[in-house]
Amino acid sequence: MRIEILVFDGVDEMDVMGPFEVWSHASRRPGFEMALVGLDGPTEVTGLHGLQFKAPEGLGQPDALFVPGGGWMNRAEKGAWAEARRGEVPARIAELAPSLQWIGSVCTGSMLLAEAGLVKGRAATTNRGAWAELQTFGAELKTNRVVDDGTLVTAGGITAGIDLALYVVERELGADVADGIAGAMEYTRDRDVYVSAG
């Protein structure tokens, strides 16, 4: 399985780095890989809090796509809100979604999924500051830390991305692997996960 993490200027650093750390550990296993990607190719990103980092590849044809958030609630000039207004990110997400095994998000990354038309009638969550707004897109809001609606996996605010990433590892590689990674990270898992029936 190849997971691509889509990054952009103004992204919340923890939204990216928590899952990146988890999936970097998982990538030591055969058949599991992860990459940071820019929308239109390799890019250098400046995060919400000023951290600069590189995405060495562009968005391709992954098995799964993970979308972080940042800069939504304060309508920042850079971040998820700005990318939604620009329109390219939601359009590409909508185009890619049918070919993915799953698409996921943390924090207000779910608002980009909402803008792409992917949450209507689906169980989903986001940063608690955007719960009401997510519902305006027709999402069935769940206030759990991680929400698994099959091909749509979303997490609450910021650090919840770590729990989503570990949950995905458990779903794909088993609980022992996920617990082993959490132990190596000295992280206590929060298992507040809602799983849709069927």
d(CA 193, CA 59) in angstroms, rounded, equals 28
Helix 175-184 and helix 160-173, axial crossing angle in degrees, nearest 10: 140
Structure tokens at 73: 């609630």
Query: Is 107 noted as a catalytic residue in this protein?
Result: yes
**Which residue among the candidates 67, 107, 152, 153 is catalytic per the annotation?**
107
d(CA 74, CA 142) in angstroms, rounded, equals 23
Give which of 140, 195, 162 is closest to 26, Cα–Cα: 162
DSSP labels, 26-78: HTTSTT-EEEEEETTSSEEEE-TTS-EEEE-EE----SEEEE---STTTT-SS
Indicate the residue type of 42. P
**Strand ranges for the chain from DSSP E:** 2-6, 33-38, 43-46, 52-55, 57-58, 64-67, 102-106, 123-124, 140-141, 146-148, 152-155, 193-195
Indicate the residue type of 29. R
d(CA 19, CA 21) in angstroms, rounded, equals 5
Q: Which residues are catalytic?
A: 107
